[in-house]
Structure 1
Amino acid sequence: MTLHQDIRLVILDMAGTTVADGGLVERAFAAAARHVGADPAAGIDHVRATMGESKISVFRHLFGDETKAQEANGAFEAAYADLVGAGEVAALPGAREAVEELTAQGRTVVLSTGFARPTQDAILAALGWQDLVPLTLCPADAGGRGRPYPDMVLTAFLRTGAADAVGQIAVVGDTSYDMLSGVRAGAGLVAGVLTGAHDTQALRSAGATHVLDSVAELPRLLAKEGT
């Protein structure tokens, strides 16, 4: 089994894992649903269940019609950007420090998201994180498929060259889809955090090898001897 000290590439989710969500995704979804004449309450359970998935995929499932899905996705991104611009986004406690400590340990850290690139960039700018890590990824950077597919994990593996094998990757997130993407990529460590959408049972059921209270615990975990 891979030793924690052998983890060379750490892929961290953003909203709910390193960035406080505070219900912003649900608020932006409600705005998007209203924009296309849909009832926000009708789709909210699916939105909650699929936190971490590419947002355009969520809208395709809910609305079927590609034109309507694209319109809803654009409205979602605009609404979320407005919330970010209004100062309603913040780093989770200890998140930046965790990234910096992981980097100091000699590991490469990548931030990934299910949001589109403009939204991801707006969040990074709002937090002052533009230069925090060497690579950030959204679904479009990995061919268009977001979580639960392994594509963003494998793209990080290929583009950074930080690890010699997928077993040297750690994937960390707050949703079952984060866990599935790590498992499907063959990551050596798949850790769930309890600062976002899903609870311990959901994370474990999706394949989490570890469940942490927050990402702040990750550097200490990885510094330990192997399991």
Structure 2
Amino acid sequence: MTSTRPPVQLVCLDMAGTTVHDDGAVLAAFHQALDTIGIPAGTPEHDTAVAHALATMGQSKIEVFRALTAGDEHFAQLGNQAFENAYDRSVDTEGVREIPGAADTIEHLRSTGHHVVLTTGFSPTTRERILRALGWHDLVTLALSPADAGRGRPHPDLLLTALLRTGTESVHHLAAVGDTTSDLLAAHRAGARIAAAVRTGSHTDADFATVPHTHVLDSVTDLAALLDTAPTPADAS
């Protein structure tokens, strides 16, 4: 029977690890931030904090630091600012680069009538710094951070905000792509038609298997071909 489900109209793409390659700058910035808040390298606390950072890749950075500091808002803000400063320095001195083929994929998606929205756990300031470094401001329809939406991943707020901002009529028209389990959980909770993982970032197939998703792709460049097929609904796993 021919599917009557509507085609994808809105594509939400994560940044670091999905469309942007930063050569480990996120984790390096976490190491510097942990030292700033008194969790130095070589301690069991540091190892535990790094493990938590890896497990929560893709989530709002301030929420990660709130968890690491047991809700101490002063130290959470201090750690988050240290992280942002370290990552910004990396962008300025070493630069960032696209995941190979990401920009061409985005251009293709937009040329075929899709809204393309970038989502990230970074602050708006860091997000804009990355977009400037890549020259991507005119490439995408919109870019969103947790501050623009309410809550970060794994909550669905970023995706639902993208839906509202672009005037997309239903989550059944939404495809969301990311490299972490938090990305996939957000897509599932938003009811996205496609909740796709990519193998270019922090998490592995074994990680993806622990959360609901519809597809695992080698790269974001595989997305256009996927959208040409009849995708399964977002409640598949």
Runs (4 or more) in structure 1 with deviation over 3 Å come to 1-5
Distance 1:3 1:19 in 2: 34
Q: 1:76 to 1:2 in 2, by over 3 A?
A: farther
In structure 1, the residue matched to 2:148 is 141
What is the correspondence of 1:12-91 to structure 2 with a 5 Å cutoff? Answer: 12-40=13-41, 41-42=46-47, 43-64=49-70, 65-91=72-98
Gap runs ≥5 in structure 1: none
Q: Aligned partner of 1:26: which letter?
A: L
Q: Is the 8 A contact 1:5 1:222 kept in 2?
A: no
* Aligned-residue RMSD, C-alpha: 1.6
**Alignment match of 1:167 (pick from 161, 164, 172):** 172
CA contact (8 A) 1:5 1:224 kept: no
Instruction: Evaluate the alpha carbon distance shift between residue 4 and residue 204 of structure 1 in structure 2; reply closer, same or farther with a 3 A threshold.
Output: farther
CA deviation after TM superposition for structure 1 residue 10, in Å: 0.3
CA distance in 2, matches of 1:4, 1:101: 22
Q: Secondary structure at the match of 2:12?
A: strand
Q: Deviations over 1:98-142 (max 9, x none)?
A: 101111111100000000011100100000001111210000000
Whichever residue aligns with residue 128 of structure 1, its letter is: G
- The structural deviation recorded for 1:206 is 1.4
The separation in 2 between residues aligned to 1:111 and 1:87, in whole angstroms, is 22
TM-score using structure 2 length: 0.91
Percent identical = 49
Please give the TM-score of this superposition, normalised by the length of structure 1: 0.95
1:131 maps to 138
Check conservation: 2:194, 2:231, Cα contact below 8 A: no
Q: Secondary structure at the match of 2:34?
A: helix
Structure 2 unmatched runs, 5+: 233-237
